[in-house]
Amino acid sequence: MSTIEHMVDKPIDLRSDTVTQPTDAMRCAMMEAPLGDDVWGDDPTVNKLQEKCAALFGKEDACFVPSGTMANQTAIRAHTQPGDEIILHGESHIVRYEAGGAAALSGCSFAIAKGARGFFTAEDVQKLYRPTDFHFGRSRLVSLENTHNRGGGSIWPLKQVTSVCKTAHKLGLKTHLDGARIWHAIVASGIDAATWATPFDTISACFSKGLGCPAGSVVVGDTETIHEVRRFRKMFGGTMRQSGILAGAAIYAIDNHLERLQIDHTHAKQLAEGLNSIDGVVCDANMTDTNLVFFDIDKRLGDGSSLCRKLGDNGVLAEALDMQRIRFVTHLNVSQEEIDRAIQITTDTCNHATS
């Protein structure tokens, strides 16, 4: 029987892992968090979170900020001067989804690396590095993204991360990790946070992607760099007052929601396998490392945006990232039953589109 004919009131929201709602226990942790004024540096819960994250990633200090974009942008500003150039993948979040912030806020341009799944190599860094010459912008920073969103939630090989960062440091460059979903890489790979963080001067990590928090990210690094991050957080309007209410959610998430990410990874594999069985859909479960599921659709099914509208009408919310490419994202608010139902709805919707 077609699922399209038997809709339910509540849609299955697979647009992103940012759509999650705090659990009841997280809400309690938020309400019970001791508060102060973080602009004065005396919010005890923010301080506890920053100390916890610095220790977790094996760095000296950390700074809590409102969003993943601000985490990346304050780190970029702390490492660079106007006119500098950042070496990074062309499909990275910093390039695609941060509103030109590196140019507007730090005066930086990009040297674009290419490579499958969002990865690039030490040789790419060598080729893109600008030699010292007054004609050129100065190469200053190399940035990686792990997991890589548009790479399909892909996890960088640790050996390749180490090689890229080693080459960058030999060239006198700083290194930054956009680790918005580093939590997924930690759980899926079994490699701890400090090991992932070792090659980098700064790391950003997001609490509202995957871990279920309403807001908040962190930047970790050495004391001097994080001092600069705090300065630019203020400059960019990111200092908050009783932000311990958000930090309390993040502490709860690290303690209670980290290991459960494996459930999301299992759900993503199931989704990928189910989607790949649909006529006109190509989805490689072997390329589904974590909780992001990307699939390509035949033009017989229309374009990505039109199919997403049809899916939404039938009870599944999703995002089209390219003309023929769609993304589903699993998260803590999606159950096994909803995964099964999402596969059936997508099957019925695609079959109806070609009938």
Q: pLDDT tens-digit profile of 130-149?
A: 998 899 999 999 999 999 99
Kindly report, residue by residue over 255-294, the tens digit of the pLDDT: 999 999 999 999 999 999 999 999 999 999 999 999 999 9
- How much is the pLDDT for 8? 56
CATH second-level architecture of 3-20+260-354?
Alpha-Beta Complex (3.90)
Stretch 187-214: mean pLDDT, rounded?
A: 97
Kindly report, residue by residue over 305-325, the tens digit of the pLDDT: 999 999 999 999 999 999 999
Question: In this structure, which CATH number among 3.30.360.10, 3.40.640.10, 3.30.200.20, 3.40.190.10 belongs to the domain 33-256?
Answer: 3.40.640.10
Give Cα 308 distance to the centre of its chain: 22
- Dihedral over alpha carbons 252, 157, 92, 203 (to 10 degrees): 40
Q: Is 223 exposed, middle or buried (0-12, 13-18, 19+ CB in 10 A)?
A: exposed
**Confidence (pTM):** 0.96
| Crossing angle for the helix pair 244-256 and 44-57, to the nearest 10 degrees | 40
Decide: 149 and 15 in contact? Cβ < 8 Å: no
Tally of residues, the chain = 355
Residues of the chain above pLDDT 90, percent: 95
- How much is the pLDDT for 9? 74
**The residue type at 246:** L
- How much is the pLDDT for 274? 98
Residues 6+ apart with CB under 8 A from 243: 38, 43, 46, 64, 216
Decide: 84 and 108 in contact? Cβ < 8 Å: yes
Stretch 125-133: mean pLDDT, rounded?
A: 95
Euclidean distance between CA atoms 171 and 274, whole angstroms: 46
The number of CA neighbours under 13 Å toward the Cβ of 190 is 0
- Report the mean per-residue pLDDT for the chain: 96
Decide if pLDDT at 44 tops 60: yes
What does each C-alpha distance from 312 to 146, 275, 280, 293, 307 come to in angstroms? Answer: 29, 16, 19, 17, 9
Stretch 162-173: mean pLDDT, rounded?
A: 98
- How much is the pLDDT for 142? 99
Stretch 211-215: mean pLDDT, rounded?
A: 97
Decide if pLDDT at 2 tops 60: no
SS3 258: coil
Decide: 45 and 35 in contact? Cβ < 8 Å: yes
Hey, where are the domains in the chain?
3-20+260-354, 33-256
Kindly report, residue by residue over 218-252, the tens digit of the pLDDT: 999 999 999 999 999 999 999 999 999 999 999 99
Confidence of residue 187 (pLDDT cuts 50, 70, 90): very high
Same topology between domain 3-20+260-354 and domain 33-256? no
- How much is the pLDDT for 170? 98
